[in-house]
Amino acid sequence: MSLLTSTLEALANHLGISPESELLHVALTHSSYAAEHDCISNERLEFLGDAVVDLAIADLITREYPELNEGTGSLVRSRVVNEASLASLARRLELGSCIKVGKGEIKSGGTDRDSLLADAFEAVVAALYLENGFQSACDFVQAMLADDVSDASLAPDEVDPKTQLRQWSEQQGHGTPVYEVTGSGPLHATTFEATVRVGSLLVASGHGRSKKSAESQAAKAALERRSNA
């Protein structure tokens, strides 16, 4: 059994749908592959999945966090539903091993691009929605993002470290911080190390279970060091 087949079956079992699901296979078909093989891409499913994810998280916030008003609830949702966070979820599910991409994307390492992974995650959510209904898709999304929502709800108005560092760096005339991220370990338990550089002024690093987390920790370390820079 190939890695691709094994991972696809594990994904299908996790979702509670058949590995033979046509919708699941479409959800994992990037437009570059579809163009080369004259088949359907996941773009329409991604469009639908985007709405399902938003509704699932809005539902969770409304039911579980009554202390959040419309404004703070929207801030929490935007902090947990974005390209970086959805790409992180896609990596946890090992979607990169399942997505079919064109030859050009393969050469450029496209299956590890945040935008491609985030779109695939949303497309998979849409496939689950169409196969098993909204409640199944809602439960899946909420389970995947529940901890992130909980963390964000503690300080919904707080600006994340990467934004804080970018704002400070640009205000000081150092331009936009540059991040480099490397990963190590098996696919199901990869750890990431991020290094951030602010011009020639300072360098800091951080670790995390996702690229987003590692970059956030690196930005936090840089913010702590800026007074000495």
CA distance 213 to 219: 10
Question: Inter-axis angle of helices 83-92 and 134-154, to 10 degrees?
Answer: 120
For 140-183, what is each residue's pLDDT tens digit? 999 999 988 987 887 777 767 888 888 888 888 888 899 999 98
Supply the pLDDT for residue 2. 41
Non-local CB neighbours of 45 within 8 Å, separated by 6+ positions: 23, 26, 27, 122, 123, 126, 127
Active site residues: 50, 122
Q: pTM of this prediction?
A: 0.71
Residue with tokens 């987003």: 212
Domains and CATH numbers, the chain: 3-154 (1.10.1520.10), 161-228 (3.30.160.20)
Taking only the tens of pLDDT, the chain with its 229 residues reads 344 556 899 999 999 999 999 999 999 999 999 999 999 999 999 999 999 999 999 999 999 999 999 988 998 998 889 888 898 899 889 999 999 999 877 776 678 888 899 999 999 999 999 999 999 999 999 999 998 898 788 777 776 788 888 888 888 888 889 999 998 877 656 788 999 999 888 899 998 877 777 888 898 899 888 765 5
Residue with tokens 């969770």: 60
